[in-house]
Structure 1
Amino acid sequence: MSELSFPPLMSGLAVTGQEDPFEAACQRAVLGCDAGLVTYNLGADQLRAALVFAPEVPLHKAMAMLPTCGIGLQNALGALAPPEVAVHLEWGGGLRINGGRCGRLRIAASSTDPEVTPDWLVVGLELPLWPASEDSGETPDQTALYAEGCAEVKAPALLESWARHALHWISRWEQDGLEPLHAEWRGLAHGIGEEGQWQDATGTFLGVDEDFGMLLRDAERTRLIPLTTLLETS
């Protein structure tokens, strides 16, 4: 495989074998690597990658990088996949292709305090290329990229495109604020207006607040579930 090409503000690092690019990115972030590092593992059956950020805003604002990276992936697939392929984003980081569950985004940071500006933040991507099994009877709503008419989308090109589109939306966020990001995300969000659940909370998913917190309405009240509840801890 030829060397991948990333935007000038980004650099790539391939990880091999069973090493998880998300964990590798977190480890390198702890050691002080530069922001813009893209770690990746392009296996035969799955694309796994992660982006390292150095936020300059408190964590509750920096968490916008999760939906930003989701929009970047949708835009990347929009550029490379057939036009009839529909990509939607779950609030919790899950990805949907043509309605089926297809991988996820995940997020970690150096701090879990919403008011603290973290030293680093990492967003990871896991995207199955081929179904794990020919028998999908146990998980009928699970799918894979190549099972949805995207066999011509090559993993290296998709990774490069994801990085470029994510960087584009980060620049939009820095220059124009959250409004364009919210507008784009609402058009891609899965499940708004439907019954939803997060941990022990159940209700109608009304949408999100300014910081992309989930607004969940039950019979008695509207509950706000901050995006920071999605943070993974080591």
Structure 2
Amino acid sequence: MSHGPSFPPLMQGINAAGADPFEAACEAASNDCDAGSILYDITPDRLRAAIVLAPEVPLAKAAAMLPLTAVAVQNALGALGPAELPVHLEWSGPIRVNGARCGAVKAAASGADLTQPPAWMVTGFTLTFARPQAEGGATPDETDLMSEGCGGLSPTQFLESWSRHLLNWINRWEDDGMAPLHREFAGLAYGLGEDIEVLGRSGHFLGLDEDLGLLLRSGGQTTVIPVTDLLETRT
């Protein structure tokens, strides 16, 4: 008899059984499911997962759960993948392994009022473990974990590790504020110090503000793109 993934206390797994875990989590959250519910869909080629959260801080601060989710993905890959495997995080969501896209994170919240805690928030990620052989050379900006030396890593093993890293970072964020997460994400940010395009805008990626908003220099002016611009709003 096969068993599902094991998660830390206060987290519980729900097999999405082929459905999109992110959409299923948003629906479950809107129907008052428990915070800490992790919905997942595991295949040999791809892992998709999402978690229902119940932030107690205004949405402007709770938006940090999106980069926090990405940091947990990177940390899990760093713990389980080959030594020195380069894993970086695009500010807008994509996960970069050895410079190429290998997955992405995203988030949704129950409302758009930045001054109020959302009734719920969902963050989730997709990670590619393998691709059809023919895709290798045709998509040089995309990769998969098997191609990057992670052939022995199972999606279930990764999901369990990610949940532990996620819980650790949530606890650190609650206890120590944004500073540790800011340092971690800044050290992993893809394209930092370079010219980039993000959300239809171009400029020089200067760094991150105190809430992990992207500082973009263009035309002699510096603007902040807040993390909340990345959130999907659900009703």
| Aligned AA (2:6) | S
TM-superposed CA distance for 1:85, in Å, is 1.1
Partner of 2:3: 2
Relative distance call for 1:136 and 1:82 in structure 2 (3 A) is: closer
| Partner Cα separation in structure 2 for residue 157 and residue 135 of structure 1 | 25
Partner of 2:149: 149
| Aligned AA (1:103) | G
| Partner Cα separation in structure 2 for residue 123 and residue 233 of structure 1 | 12
| Partner Cα separation in structure 1 for residue 140 and residue 191 of structure 2 | 18
Partner of 1:175: 175
Could you say what secondary structure the match of 2:205 adopts? strand
Partner of 1:131: 131
**Greater Cα offset, 162-171 or 203-212:** 203-212
Alignment of 1:10-159 (within 5 A): 10-17=11-18, 19-132=19-132, 134-159=134-159
Could you say what secondary structure the match of 1:61 adopts? helix
TM-score by length of 2: 0.95
Relative distance call for 1:174 and 1:219 in structure 2 (3 A) is: same
| Partner Cα separation in structure 2 for residue 66 and residue 202 of structure 1 | 22
| Partner Cα separation in structure 2 for residue 199 and residue 54 of structure 1 | 27
| Aligned AA (1:107) | A
| Aligned AA (1:217) | R
Relative distance call for 1:222 and 1:163 in structure 2 (3 A) is: same
| Partner Cα separation in structure 2 for residue 199 and residue 79 of structure 1 | 31
The answer as to whether partners of 2:111 and 2:233 remain within 8 angstroms in 1 is no
| Partner Cα separation in structure 1 for residue 207 and residue 51 of structure 2 | 26
Superposition misfits of 4+ residues, deviation over 6 angstroms: none
| Aligned AA (1:224) | V
| Partner Cα separation in structure 2 for residue 45 and residue 181 of structure 1 | 30
User: Any idea what the Cα deviations from partners look like across 1:160-200, whole Å, max 9, x if unmatched?
Assistant: 00000010000000001111111111111111100011233
Partner of 1:231: 231
The answer as to whether partners of 2:68 and 2:181 remain within 8 angstroms in 1 is yes
The answer as to whether partners of 2:213 and 2:226 remain within 8 angstroms in 1 is yes
Aligned residues: 233
1:185 pairs with 2:191: no
TM-superposed CA distance for 1:132, in Å, is 4.6
Gaps of 5+ in 2: none
Give me the CA root mean square deviation: 1.2
Gaps of 5+ in 1: none
TM-superposed CA distance for 1:53, in Å, is 0.5
The answer as to whether partners of 2:44 and 2:155 remain within 8 angstroms in 1 is no
| Partner Cα separation in structure 2 for residue 3 and residue 104 of structure 1 | 23
TM-score by length of 1: 0.96
Could you say what secondary structure the match of 2:85 adopts? coil
| Partner Cα separation in structure 2 for residue 15 and residue 207 of structure 1 | 37
| Partner Cα separation in structure 2 for residue 200 and residue 138 of structure 1 | 25
| Partner Cα separation in structure 1 for residue 11 and residue 62 of structure 2 | 18
User: Any idea what the Cα deviations from partners look like across 1:2-52, whole Å, max 9, x if unmatched?
Assistant: 2211000100000113x1000010000000011101000001211000011
**Greater Cα offset, 130-139 or 113-122:** 130-139
